[in-house]
């Protein structure tokens, strides 16, 4: 256990130093640490996502911060992003498509400065891809509907999964829910919203 804690502390310390010395988003060239969530250079290679837009179209759809993370391989600053310390009940959805991805019930305080979860809402929502950049073997996570980079998953999380899905707030949108009991209904309603949003993006792709 102490080895995991030491790894997290070292990871956060290194990431903080990089963040303070780059003046904004960290790129894959700046991050040298497994906890930072920077994706590999073969981002979105071979993915069969539902939404496939050009770079110019994604820039129209996403904010500069969202594009930097989801399409341009960036990583937001730790402890200086909207959801790392979010404690309200609710669901976290893809910032691009609105697809429900994570629940507040699976969120935990990892000490890394990024929102962390033990698991996605369900299987098949968050894709995995092996990342071998920087001489390390990591597992990148992405939204299966749009291929947008979310973060990385590590095997140093708490029970019941032992996993830490280390995500970027810029890749997510938080939707508050009044109570834990209301989460399933919120997910169902958001799935309908996401379906319409995906259809709109597909129309944009075909224009």
- The residues assigned a catalytic role are 166
Copy the structure tokens of residue 8.
């997290």
> Which of 204, 189, 206, 176 has the alpha carbon at shortest distance from 96?
204
For residues 28 and 31, give the distance between their C-alpha atoms in angstroms, rounded to a whole number: 6
Tokens 């996605």 appear where?
120
Give every CB contact of residue 1 below 8 A, 6+ residues apart in sequence. Answer: none
Tokens 């893809």 appear where?
94
For residues 103 and 110, give the distance between their C-alpha atoms in angstroms, rounded to a whole number: 16
For residues 95 and 23, give the distance between their C-alpha atoms in angstroms, rounded to a whole number: 23
């Amino acid at each position: 256990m102490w080895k995991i804690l030491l790894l997290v502390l070292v990871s956060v310390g290194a990431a903080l130093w990089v963040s303070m010395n780059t003046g904004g988003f960290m790129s894959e060239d700046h991050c040298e640490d497994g906890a930072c969530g920077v994706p590999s250079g073969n981002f979105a290679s071979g993915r069969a996502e539902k939404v496939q837009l050009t770079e110019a179209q994604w820039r129209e759809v996403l904010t500069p911060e969202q594009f930097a993370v989801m399409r341009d391989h960036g990583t937001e600053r730790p402890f200086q992003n909207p959801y790392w310390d979010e404690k309200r009940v609710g669901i976290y959805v893809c910032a691009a498509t609105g697809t429900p991805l994570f629940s507040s019930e699976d969120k935990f305080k990892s000490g890394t400065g990024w929102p962390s979860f033990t698991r996605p809402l369900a299987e098949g929502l968050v894709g995995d891809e092996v990342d071998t950049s920087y001489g390390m073997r990591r597992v990148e996570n992405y939204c299966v509907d749009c291929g947008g980079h979310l973060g990385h998953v590590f095997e140093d999380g708490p029970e019941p999964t032992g996993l830490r899905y280390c995500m970027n707030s810029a890749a997510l949108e938080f939707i508050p829910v009044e109570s834990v009991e209301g989460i399933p209904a919120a997910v169902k309603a958001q799935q309908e919203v996401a379906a319409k949003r995906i259809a709109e993006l597909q129309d944009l792709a075909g224009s």
